[in-house]
Amino acid sequence: MPKKTLADLPDLRGKRVLIRVDFNVPQDAAGNITNDRRIRAALPTIRAVLDGGASAIVMSHLGRPKGDPRKDAAFRMDRVGRRLGELLGKPVRKMDEVVGPAVTAAVQALKPGEVLLLENLRFHPGEQAGDAAFAAQLAGLADAYVNDAFGTCHRKDASMFAGPAAMAGKPRVVGTLVAKELEVLDKLLSAPPRPLVGILGGAKVSDKIGFIKSLLTRVDKVLIGGAMTYTFLKCQGHNVGGSKVEGDKLDVARELLTLGQGKIVLPVDHLVVQKLDDPATARVVEGEVPDGWIGVDIGPKTIAQYRDAIGQAGTVVWNGPMGKFEDEPYSKGTKAIAAAMATSKAVTIVGGGETAEAVEDFGLAEKMTHVSTGGGAFLEYVEGTPFAALAQIESV
């Protein structure tokens, strides 16, 4: 059932709207935001609420704070609030508490068009516990609830589930970002233009077993890259040299190959090095990886094959890099996949934090049909897991 969206909200003039976003952005060691796309992706919703004459109470988690105040300082929302203010072009009042008297007072003083950002939701023990009393405090802050946090929709945290549950009777809708994610991914699951080609990379088969199984029931082909390649090759009895292998997942890899009935395509050549940090030793090998060598990227023949498959596809869905792409000399495969998708006429969908960030860094995000803001949420949605958080949103 399609979900109600911002367009279904009643007259917002003078109202307060609680907006759950996913501002869980990557930060460097000094706490600087290294990629703000999740903040940018939520701007249309926040702007729509403000333009409608309401005030916005924005809330998110950031990272996985452990409840130690000294270590948790890095997870405060100050930098996120500053960036949001810059992007919105208006002041954002950042609170130092999640709930409590100071927040209640600030919320009561809000005027139409004003924005308030709560402190990191996970500083409150009730958030991840899904606590009803905490959820009731959040619910009491506003007249309406908007879920624009696709990246967190696979969680049952209080702000995602018990909070909107406690707002039953008030309008509860999805924002623009979530609406687009659901539209694109529902189409991928129900009626994708064919052939449907999946591209799967990353280090571990074990992280993505459910995702691969689900893909295999839907796709015409899955092209494999990244270190998971070597777990697949090894289970077939190939030599993989010193490449990263999940030795305890060979049975799983074998099971997936059997399930795939020929749909799983493995690289035919590899960029290999003798030492990970020594690109000067890099060379291309076909078939087996010799002893003493480590695979770090797909090779040129594989790139050409995958490019052809993308060129002939009706839909391409991609998750996981093709190699150790964060090191420039090993990034050719990942870049080539991104470039082939960017120029293809297919519906192109990129999911997963790392893959989405890579596509952005290559400057190709705008050339894709859809770059998901979800990491775990993207994988789980495509696997077919129903999201309890979305059940709290009214259906059309």
Q: What is the C-alpha to C-alpha distance for residues 292 and 243, in angstroms, rounded to an integer?
A: 9
Q: What is the C-alpha to C-alpha distance for residues 323 and 332, in angstroms, rounded to an integer?
A: 8
Q: Please choose which of ligand 3PG, Mg ion, none residue 22 contacts, taking the beta carbon within 5 to 8 angstroms, the exact cut-off set by kind.
A: ligand 3PG
Q: Is 213 a catalytic residue?
A: no
Which of 201, 241, 353, 375 is catalytic? The answer is 353
Total of chain residues touching ligand 3PG, rule CB under 6 A: 9
Q: Is 353 a catalytic residue?
A: yes
Provide the Cα torsion 262, 263, 268, 274; round to 10°.
Answer: -110
Q: Is the separation of the CB atoms in 79 and 34 below 8 Å?
A: no
Nearer to ligand 3PG, 127 or 297 (CB): 127
For the bound state, the minimum distance from the C-beta of residue 354 to ligand 3PG, rounded and expressed in Å, comes to 11
Q: Please count the helices (runs of H) and the strands (runs of E) in the chain.
A: 16, 15
The secondary structure of 320-371, three-state, reads: CCCCCCCCHHHCHHHHHHHHHHHHCCCEEEECCHHHHHHHHHCCCHHHCCEE
Nearest Cα neighbor of 192 from 22, 19, 313 is 313
Q: Is 85 helix (H, G, I), strand (E, B) or coil?
A: helix
Nearer to Mg ion, 116 or 371 (CB): 371
Q: Is 119 helix (H, G, I), strand (E, B) or coil?
A: coil
Q: What is the C-alpha to C-alpha distance for residues 226 and 181, in angstroms, rounded to an integer?
A: 26
For the bound state, the minimum distance from the C-beta of residue 150 to ligand 3PG, rounded and expressed in Å, comes to 9
376 binds ligand 3PG (CB under 6 A): yes
Letters for 321-360 (x = contact with Mg ion by CB under 5 A, - = none) are ----------------------------------------
For the bound state, the minimum distance from the C-beta of residue 389 to Mg ion, rounded and expressed in Å, comes to 15
User: With left for phi above 0 and alpha for psi between -120 and 50, is residue 67 left, alpha or beta?
Assistant: left
Q: Please choose which of ligand 3PG, Mg ion, none residue 331 contacts, taking the beta carbon within 5 to 8 angstroms, the exact cut-off set by kind.
A: none
Q: Is 204 a catalytic residue?
A: yes
Q: Please choose which of Mg ion, ligand 3PG, none residue 241 contacts, taking the beta carbon within 5 to 8 angstroms, the exact cut-off set by kind.
A: none
Nearer to ligand 3PG, 171 or 375 (CB): 375
Q: Please name the residue that has the structure tokens 């589930």.
A: 161
24 binds ligand 3PG (CB under 6 A): yes
376 binds Mg ion (CB under 5 A): yes
Q: Please name the residue that has the structure tokens 């600030």.
A: 106
For the bound state, the minimum distance from the C-beta of residue 148 to ligand 3PG, rounded and expressed in Å, comes to 13
Q: What is the C-alpha to C-alpha distance for residues 18 and 206, in angstroms, rounded to an integer?
A: 37
Q: Is 15 a catalytic residue?
A: no
Interface stretch with Mg ion, choices 84-92, 225-233, 277-285, 375-383 (CB under 5 A): 375-383
210 binds Mg ion (CB under 5 A): no
Nearer to ligand 3PG, 64 or 111 (CB): 64
Q: Is the separation of the CB atoms in 247 and 290 below 8 Å?
A: no
Total of chain residues touching Mg ion, rule CB under 5 A: 2
The residues in 215-234 that bind Mg ion, with binding defined as CB under 5 A, are none
> Which residues lie below 8 Å from residue 198, measured CB to CB, with a gap of 6+?
215, 219, 221, 222, 223, 316, 317, 318
Q: What is the C-alpha to C-alpha distance for residues 335 and 338, in angstroms, rounded to an integer?
A: 5
Nearer to ligand 3PG, 260 or 375 (CB): 375
Of the residues 52, 65, 130, 151, which one makes contact with ligand 3PG according to CB under 6 A: 151
Letters for 62-81 (x = contact with ligand 3PG by CB under 6 A, - = none) are --x-----------------
Distance in angstroms between the alpha carbons of the first and the last residue of the chain: 7
The residues in 152-181 that bind ligand 3PG, with binding defined as CB under 6 A, are 152, 155
Q: Please report the beta strands in the chain, taking only residues with DSSP state E, as ranges in sequence order.
A: 16-21, 55-59, 92-94, 115-117, 144-148, 172-174, 196-200, 221-224, 264-265, 269-273, 283-286, 294-298, 315-319, 347-350, 370-371
For the bound state, the minimum distance from the C-beta of residue 133 to Mg ion, rounded and expressed in Å, comes to 26
Q: What is the C-alpha to C-alpha distance for residues 25 and 38, in angstroms, rounded to an integer?
A: 7
320 binds ligand 3PG (CB under 6 A): no
Interface stretch with ligand 3PG, choices 151-159, 173-181, 216-224, 303-311 (CB under 6 A): 151-159
Interface ranges with ligand 3PG (CB under 6 A): 22, 24, 64, 151-152, 155, 353, 375-376
Interface ranges with Mg ion (CB under 5 A): 375-376
Catalytic residues: 38, 204, 353, 376
